[in-house]
Amino acid sequence: MDTVTIEHLTKNFRGMTAIDDLSLKIEKGKITGLIGSDGSGKTTLIRLIIGLLLPDHGKISVLGLNPETQKDELNKKIGYMPQKFGLYEDLTVIENLRLYADLKNVAHDFEKLLEFTNLKKFQTRLAGALSGGMKQKLGLACVLLGSPEFLLLDEPSVGVDPISRRDLMRMVRDLISPETTVLWSTAYLDEAHSFDTAVVLNQGKVIYQGKPYDLAKTTEEFENKVIDLMGGYRKTKSRIAENYIPKNSDVEYTVVADNLEKLYGSFYAVKNNSFKIKKGEIFGLLGPNGAGKSTSFKMMCGLLKPTSGTARIMGVDITEDPENARANLGYMAQKFSLYEALTVKQNLDFFAEIYGIHDENLKKRVDEIIDIFGFFQTRKQKSGELPLGFKQKLSLACALIHNPPILFLDEPTSGVDVITRREFWDHIKSLAQKGVTVLVTTHFMDEAEYCDRISLFYKGDAVAIGTPSALKNKVRAKSMEEAFMKLILESEK
């Protein structure tokens, strides 16, 4: 018995094919992982399945219903968590739960969910004030209300730390009945590897469907196989780094955090944070959501005034001379924050200009970036319409455009497909070799291994600083993920 049957489905947007003659069956009672490169049509496919979009051609049947004509009935049986999940940020946790419970006509019995999500303490907090991981957990909790027959999750684990990611997975596995079908789109291949079925999309077509375990026994292998399926990845020299013109400076420690502290009321968001990053070093900030990484980040680039302490960029104090300090900085925010109404090229032009690249240099540089990042096809598209992964790519490009000696990257690879992630890190590593200092946060533990040094953040405190291997040795962990868990557990004591 199949929950979803799709035959010859096609969907175009303004002449661009998003879904291309796609046929697919999704088995009932199984967890199916939906993976694929950015812009391969994952979100569009999910939206078509639940009738939020109408197909141009082809047939879809979901739980025996036609989403085109029977959307209302279908809605009663499904739980859908969109990428930008619709939590009301100006409502509290419990108010959001109550709202979605009422919309699904189920009783206000949230004990188990609150327990599972660890949100019990935060019931009266505004959803907008939750950390990324907690928001996703709350979103999932809202979707799970009323035990839907078919659960569709569009990248629920984007920007979620490893611990919360396990929680999300546990919530789904433990809280649904065995008959429930789950369609889970994800960029984390370790997640996908643990599912019953994996569907790999590429350019609107299914290029693989089967048991992930059949494809590869281990996660690493699985990742390589998927990359091969998607056309393979050849490591090339980073042309960004090649064209990088190093800035002469005799500052040894290019980024310095000096006793940074942020106090909200009586609550320390960041407490006594100090570190020094050498020129050319990749420094990783790791830690669960809400540990104070983003707050530190914002203080370091002058978006937030520290309660005490300061930061120095290339020796310039950020609180005293923010304009000069920032001139050396390339910054990529966690949330996509480029102009959605501007096209890809217009965004690049704009950011180049405000960082002081003009006239012929501008044209040269922007063309170069478009070429390196492969924006040629999309250069005239509005950036708001791009898939998440493309947006991240564009954000990185804008942060790099002025050859900054220092890069601040806040979760640059969140929502980015596996191939692009490798490209990102190629650029980052090669730039560091050229002397660019990089401060980066990530939730991918394999990426943490690329960092020269790591500061592990928990509850506003740096609980450990050191090279990845030093941290692993410290708690005798095999993988970075294990070290992460153990170190956090240790600091709890």
Work out which of 105, 177, 236, 266 binds another protein, going by CB under 8 A: 105
When the beta carbons of 76 and 211 are compared against another protein, the nearer one is 76
Stretch that binds another protein, among 74-82, 174-182, 190-198, 425-433 (CB under 8 A): 74-82
Contacting another protein (CB under 8 A), which of 8, 69, 86, 361?
Answer: 86
In 3D space, the residue among 167, 101, 88 whose CA is nearest the CA of residue 133 turns out to be 167
Task: Centre a 10 Å sphere on the Cβ of residue 274 and count the other Cβ atoms it contains.
Answer: 14
Sheet holding 253-264, edge to edge: 267-278, 253-264, 308-313, 316-317
Could you tell me which of 4, 149, 11, 160 has the C-alpha nearest to residue 80? 149
User: Based on C-alpha coordinates, what's the Rg of the chain?
Assistant: 23
Residue type for position 384: G
Rank residues 229 and 304 by Cβ distance to another protein and give the closer one: 304
The minimum distance between CB 275 and another protein, in angstroms, equals: 20
Contacts of another protein in 381-410 (CB under 8 A): 385
If the CB atoms of residues 80 and 450 are measured against another protein, the closer one turns out to be 80
Task: State the Cα–Cα distance between residues 325 and 314, nearest whole angstrom.
Answer: 7
Stretch that binds another protein, among 71-79, 223-231, 259-267, 427-435 (CB under 8 A): 71-79
> C-beta of 80: minimal distance to another protein in Å?
4
Bridge partners, residue 464, by sequence: 456
Which residues, listed in sequence order, are joined to residue 260 by a DSSP beta bridge?
Answer: 273
Work out which of 122, 222, 275, 331 binds another protein, going by CB under 8 A.
Answer: 331
Dist. CA 297–CA 409, nearest whole Å: 9
Smallest gap from Cβ 481 to another protein, in A, equals 30
The residue range among 82-90, 112-120, 253-261, 478-486 that interacts with another protein, by the rule CB under 8 A, is 82-90
Q: Which of residues 467-486 bind another protein (CB under 8 A)?
A: none
The answer to the question of residue 218 lying near another protein (CB under 8 A) is: no
| Member of 303, 316, 463, 465 binding another protein (CB under 8 A) | 303
CA distance 468 to 455: 10
Distances (CA, A) of 236 to 209, 240, 308, 363: 30, 11, 44, 24
Binding string, residues 351-380; x marks residues near another protein by CB under 8 A: x-xxxx-x----------------------
Q: Could you tell me the CA-to-CA distances from 213 to 62, 179, 223, 227 in Å, in that order?
A: 26, 22, 12, 16
Helix, strand, or coil (residue 408): strand
Length of the chain: 493
Which amino acid makes up residue 21? D
The site that binds another protein (CB under 8 A) totals a number of residues, namely 63
- The beta-strand segments (E) located in 370-452 are 406-410, 437-441
27: Cβ–Cβ under 8 A, 6 or more apart, which residues?
1, 2, 3, 181, 196, 197
Beta carbon of residue 189, minimum distance to another protein (angstroms, whole number): 26
Q: How far is the CB of 34 from another protein (least distance, A)?
A: 17
Minimum distance from residue 335 beta carbon to another protein (Å): 5
Sign of CA dihedral 47, 48, 54, 56: positive
**Minimal distance, residue 238 CB to another protein, in Å:** 24
Which residue's CB is nearer to another protein, number 233 or number 350? 350
Per CB under 8 A, 103 contacts another protein:
yes
DSSP state of 183: E
Q: Which stretch binds another protein (CB under 8 A): 21-29, 45-53, 368-376, 415-423?
A: 45-53
Enumerate the β-bridge partners of residue 263. Answer: 268
Q: Which is nearer to another protein, 398 or 448 (CB)?
A: 398
Smallest gap from residue 196 Cβ to another protein (A)? 23
Q: Which one among 97, 113, 257, 329 touches another protein, defined by CB under 8 A?
A: 329
Residue 145 CA to residue 250 CA, distance in Å, equals 58
Residues that bind another protein (CB under 8 A): 13-14, 47, 50-54, 71-72, 75-76, 78, 80-82, 84-91, 95, 98-100, 102-105, 126, 142, 301-303, 305, 323-324, 326-327, 329, 331, 333, 335-342, 346, 349-351, 353-356, 358, 385
